[in-house]
Structure 1
């Protein structure tokens, strides 16, 4: 068994892969899901990612996720420290586990930006507001 290649709460390690660090702090479930896909031998990380977005459940999933990464990558530790790290600094925990799983910030940063651009392509806030207003009128009229 070995040690984590990056420690928690270490600014030097954040600077080593600053794009992954920034992605982790701005959109933590993106690297979470990508890392899970990389280390899971069975099942799909997408389902776990959806479950992790449920507010209370996320607190239970993160220590388990860290344990999966730890086990798959042969890192020393136990569930108690997984819980402690997850609850004290969840973003650092996701960054540490994602890096250990082999997630590279350069590739994921560009991929995430591209996905966001595709999602916003053709998005018009005034049209969306009008559509929401019409839907709420429809619901109010039919209740």
Structure 2
């Protein structure tokens, strides 16, 4: 039996709109800029689980059931936003931000998702 040579499978192109050699950026809004977006801040403070489910849905990472496990689901959502927008940071940074400033982090994420949608990247 004649066997065909096996070649390694090449990786698929990246699904994110940045080049791997592009230097990472900063968040469009600072962590404490949440006070500049009062409407979004009130939404996050009064309807936190719904705001979380909205972010997950806008990233196409769930349909809203995650609203019942905010802290457990918040870390991958924030990481996904960072990856899609090519934002500098680590999972440890995300964890500390979510733990100590959950409302400010949520508003910052909402603002970043808004920017990604405006740019047509979501």
- Interval of TM-score (by shorter of Structure 1 and Structure 2): 0.5 to 0.7
Equivalent position to 1:70, from 82, 85, 107 = 82
Alignment of 1:20-59 (within 5 A): 20-40=40-60, 44-46=61-63, 49-54=64-69, 58-59=70-71
What is the CA–CA distance in structure 2 between the aligned matches of 1:89 and 1:19, rounded to whole Å?
A: 18
Shift of 1:39: 2.5
Give the helix-richer structure, 1 or 2: 1
Equivalent position to 1:80, from 92, 97, 113 = 92
- SS class of match (2:79): helix
In structure 1, the gaps of 5 or more residues are 104-143
Shift of 1:89: 1.4
TM-score under structure 2 length normalisation: 0.65
Bigger drift between 85-94 and 28-37 goes to 28-37
What is the CA–CA distance in structure 2 between the aligned matches of 1:39 and 1:22, rounded to whole Å?
A: 21
Query: Match of 1:61?
Result: 73
What is the CA–CA distance in structure 1 between the aligned matches of 2:84 and 2:72, rounded to whole Å?
A: 19
Larger Rg, first or second structure (1 or 2): 1
C-alpha RMSD of matched pairs (Å): 1.9
What is the CA–CA distance in structure 2 between the aligned matches of 1:50 and 1:18, rounded to whole Å?
A: 26
Count of residues in correspondence between the two structures: 92
TM-score under structure 1 length normalisation: 0.57
Task: Determine whether 1:5 maps to 2:28.
Answer: yes
Shift of 1:45: 2.4
